[in-house]
């Protein structure tokens, strides 16, 4: 079965295991959702107002315990959008600690804030698997991520023939890889076809590998 590791679509196809991601502004659709999903405090929508942030946090701590929630996130750091980075980092570190407490893997959104991400990880020391979603950067940033055990999920950025993301995917070990449509309305099968081509694998081989990866991150977090 194909896995769409991270997306924001409200419909899913029966032959894809689609992990829908909900954030603090999607509390109602989250309640109505019955499939596998993730919940997190998205850095763009972290509030700078204390009482609003407390409410967002209360929602997350309740929602994250739901059985349908396989993963925590997306949460993370974004230097191009959202409130002050200090506010984002405060919330992100709480999310890491919650994931650790609930024993769920964390899906991380990181834009131009890798140093701060590493600092938070050194501080909180999560032992649950961490997955960087929507990775679209050069392979130079990939190396420290892989060295620290991160998984990496790729989206539409791998489609152009010479993209940085495609080159990074080529250097990502198969056992650390996921694919996701994120906010793009594109069939996940297109990403499998492209990734299989980059990796020199059959779709079937890639399918099996990514299924194993999902099983691994879920099993590892339960230790
Ligand atoms: Zn997303």
For residue 9, what is the DSSP state? -
* CA 20 to ligand 1 centroid distance, Å: 9
pLDDT at 14: 83
* CA 79 to ligand 1 centroid distance, Å: 16
Q: Mean pLDDT across the stretch 92-99?
A: 98
**Which residues lie closer than 8 Å to 169 by C-beta, 6 or more apart?**
154, 158, 177, 195, 198, 199
Q: Give the pLDDT band (50/70/90) at residue 146.
A: very high
* Domains delineated in the chain: 2-221 (3.20.20.140)
* CA 107 to ligand 1 centroid distance, Å: 9
CA distance 74 to 196: 26
* CA 74 to ligand 1 centroid distance, Å: 7
Q: Mean pLDDT across the stretch 16-33?
A: 96
CA distance 125 to 123: 6
Q: Give the pLDDT band (50/70/90) at residue 13.
A: confident
Whether the pLDDT of residue 178 is over 90: the answer is: yes
* CA 119 to ligand 1 centroid distance, Å: 22
* CA 87 to ligand 1 centroid distance, Å: 20
Whether the pLDDT of residue 208 is over 80: the answer is: yes
User: What predicted TM-score, i.e. pTM, was given to this entire model?
Assistant: 0.96
* CA 153 to ligand 1 centroid distance, Å: 11
Q: Give the pLDDT band (50/70/90) at residue 38.
A: very high
Q: Give the pLDDT band (50/70/90) at residue 11.
A: confident
CA distance 138 to 135: 9
* CA 121 to ligand 1 centroid distance, Å: 20
pLDDT at 29: 95
pLDDT in tens, 98-141: 999 999 999 999 999 999 999 999 999 999 999 999 999 998 89
CA distance 64 to 122: 23
* CA 71 to ligand 1 centroid distance, Å: 13
| Percent of residues, the chain, with pLDDT higher than 70 | 100
pLDDT at 10: 78
């Amino acid at each position: 079965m194909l896995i769409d590791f991270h997306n924001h679509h409200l419909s899913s196809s029966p032959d894809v295991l689609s992990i829908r991601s909900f954030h603090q502004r999607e509390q109602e659709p989250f309640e109505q959702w019955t499939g596998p999903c993730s919940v997190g405090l998205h850095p763009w929508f972290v509030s700078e107002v204390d009482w609003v942030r407390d409410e967002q946090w209360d929602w997350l701590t309740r929602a994250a315990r739901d059985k349908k929630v396989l993963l925590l996130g997306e949460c993370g750091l974004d230097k191009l959008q959202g409130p002050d980075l200090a506010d984002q980092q405060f919330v992100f570190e709480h999310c890491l600690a919650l994931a650790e407490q609930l024993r769920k893997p964390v899906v991380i959104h990181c834009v131009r804030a890798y140093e701060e991400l590493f600092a938070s990880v050194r501080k909180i020391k999560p032992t649950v698997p961490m997955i960087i979603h929507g990775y679209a950067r050069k392979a130079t940033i990939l190396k420290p991520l892989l060295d620290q055990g991160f998984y990496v999920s790729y989206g539409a950025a791998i489609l152009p023939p010479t993209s940085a993301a495609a080159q990074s995917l080529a250097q990502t070990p198969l056992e650390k890889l996921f694919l996701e449509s994120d906010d793009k309305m594109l069939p996940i099968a297109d990403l499998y076809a492209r990734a299989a081509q980059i990796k020199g694998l059959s779709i079937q081989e890639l399918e099996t590998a990514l299924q194993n990866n999902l099983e691994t991150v879920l099993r590892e977090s339960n230790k």
